[in-house]
């Protein structure tokens, strides 16, 4: 939320700081400016005519332009019914209005009197399932004052038929989590005990404070921050290697020999896996690729004829190309292939798997997240080569029986396979990331 009349200021300021202005329009009678941040996340600055919250001034932004706080959140969903049951029946929102934005319907829910109490549902049945990565929102958090209020919300969520976590102690707050039928992760967090439990309010943000569950990561996180961290310098490449991929090469911490080679799933790009890579190995160098095949505008690494039916000639082309690209790019960057780990999700995992079948020595380790190998591969001897395979027991895209056949085949070829399962579907679960982090540490 920004003051009325301030959008011209922001339209000029945002590009100066790496954001791109995407559109300027009006929704539900309010002018807004839509921008894309450097990692691809879309944000809307909305003119709020009456907002008494204190402005966030400074760094050249005055009170007449400054952000007042959140206006709300937009949720992309296939239909309204499931979200309406949660918003009205559990959280107490009111359905207020409906509008059209492009080819989609937008339905507004709000809590009267709450300046940040807007939830817009963007209804698009053709919207693809999201993947957690750079440029996306991991979860939406709703605030309650204390654990008693949180317990009441938890009971209502459970009564509505949703699987919800227990109350989890995050040191600074307590949290519960559940997913909507559209796959959106909701958190309900308490305002108690607050972020001033281990440092004064006056100095918040001046030092790195961690909850107990992450205290053991302090060294790694401080090292990554020193190397530029999540927002460090990113070197763009792609034209540097003849016949190569568009990619990002993000330097790691000095003295860290590890390189993570990251391949996204269908519809992703070279930015999608960066957050995953940095979270599991904060000090490693990241080499993240974009698929060179377009399927109705969605990037992939090789073509397919239908869901689960691969164009085997194009898979061969892509495998040869990836092999050569990794050899040249790692050598040019001075990175040891034995210290490099390939991590692929879905379509990216499938291409990595095919290279693993041919050249297990190309990389020091291989992590295949939700691979689908619907053919019987010939697997070269992979004696002792570390491989992690993760999957969901209810994955509608990757049948568990095919994953188990893949694991068995790799094991028979001599690979040191770690198998990780979670009870969900095709999305990468938190437990997979935790297992991946632990596995990386053993290499």
Q: Which residues are catalytic?
A: 346, 395, 426
Which two three-digit tokens encode residue 87?
């918003």
Q: In what side-by-side order are the strands of the sheet with 140-144? A: 140-144, 185-193, 173-179, 168-169
Helices 347-358 and 312-332 pack at an angle, to 10 degrees, of 80
For the chain, how long is the longest CA-to-CA vector? 68
Instruction: State how beta strands 185-193 and 140-144 pair.
Output: parallel
> Which are the contacts of 24, defined by CB distance < 8 A and separation ≥ 6?
7, 11, 31, 32, 33, 34
CA proximity to 188, closest of 206, 170, 209, 174: 174
Find the length of the chain: 443
186, 180 contact by CB (below 8 A): yes
Which two three-digit tokens encode residue 153?
């919300």
CA–CA gap between residue 187 and residue 210 (Å, rounded): 19
Which two three-digit tokens encode residue 233?
């310098």
């Amino acid at each position: 939320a920004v003051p009325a009349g301030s959008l011209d200021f922001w339209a000029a300021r945002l590009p100066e700081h790496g954001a791109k202005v995407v559109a300027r329009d009006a929704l539900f009678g309010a002018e807004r400016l839509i921008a894309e941040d450097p990692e691809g996340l879309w944000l809307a600055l909305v003119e709020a005519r009456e907002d008494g919250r204190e402005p966030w001034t400074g760094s050249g932004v005055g009170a007449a332009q400054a952000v007042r706080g959140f206006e709300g959140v937009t949720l992309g969903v296939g239909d309204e019914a499931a979200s309406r049951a949660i918003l009205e029946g559990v959280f107490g929102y009111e359905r207020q209005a409906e509008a059209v934005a492009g080819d989609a319907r937008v339905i507004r829910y709000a809590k009267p009197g709450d300046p940040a109490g807007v939830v817009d549902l963007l209804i698009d049945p053709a919207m693809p399932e999201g993947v957690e990565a750079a440029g996306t929102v991991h979860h939406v958090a709703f605030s309650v004052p204390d654990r008693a209020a949180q317990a009441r919300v938890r009971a209502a969520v459970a009564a509505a038929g949703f699987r919800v976590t227990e109350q989890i102690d995050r040191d600074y707050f307590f949290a519960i989590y559940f997913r909507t039928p559209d796959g959106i992760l909701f958190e309900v967090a308490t305002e108690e005990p607050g972020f001033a439990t281990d440092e004064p309010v006056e100095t918040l943000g001046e030092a790195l404070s961690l909850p107990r569950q992450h205290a053991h990561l302090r060294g790694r996180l401080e090292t990554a921050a020193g190397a530029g961290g999540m927002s460090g310098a990113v070197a763009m490449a792609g034209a540097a290697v003849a016949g190569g991929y568009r990619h990002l090469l993000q330097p790691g911490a000095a003295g860290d020999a590890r390189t993570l080679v990251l391949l996204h799933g269908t519809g992703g790009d070279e930015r999608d896996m960066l957050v995953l890579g940095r979270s599991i190995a904060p000090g490693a160098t990241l080499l993240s690729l974009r698929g060179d095949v377009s399927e109705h505008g969605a990037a992939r690494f090789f073509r397919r004829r239908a869901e689960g039916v691969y164009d085997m000639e194009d898979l061969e082309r892509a495998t040869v190309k990836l092999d050569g690209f990794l050899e040249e790019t790692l050598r040019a960057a001075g990175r040891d292939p034995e210290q490099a780990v390939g991590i692929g999700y879905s379509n990216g995992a499938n291409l990595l798997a095919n290279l693993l079948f041919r050249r297990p020595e190309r990389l020091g380790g291989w992590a295949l997240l939700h691979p689908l190998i619907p053919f019987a591969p010939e697997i070269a001897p992979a004696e002792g080569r570390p491989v992690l395979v993760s999957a969901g027991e209810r994955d509608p895209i990757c049948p568990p029986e095919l994953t188990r056949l893949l694991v068995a085949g790799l094991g028979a070829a001599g690979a040191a396979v770690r198998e990780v399962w979670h009870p969900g579907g095709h999305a990468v679960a938190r437990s997979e990331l935790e297992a991946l982090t632990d596995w990386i540490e053993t290499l």
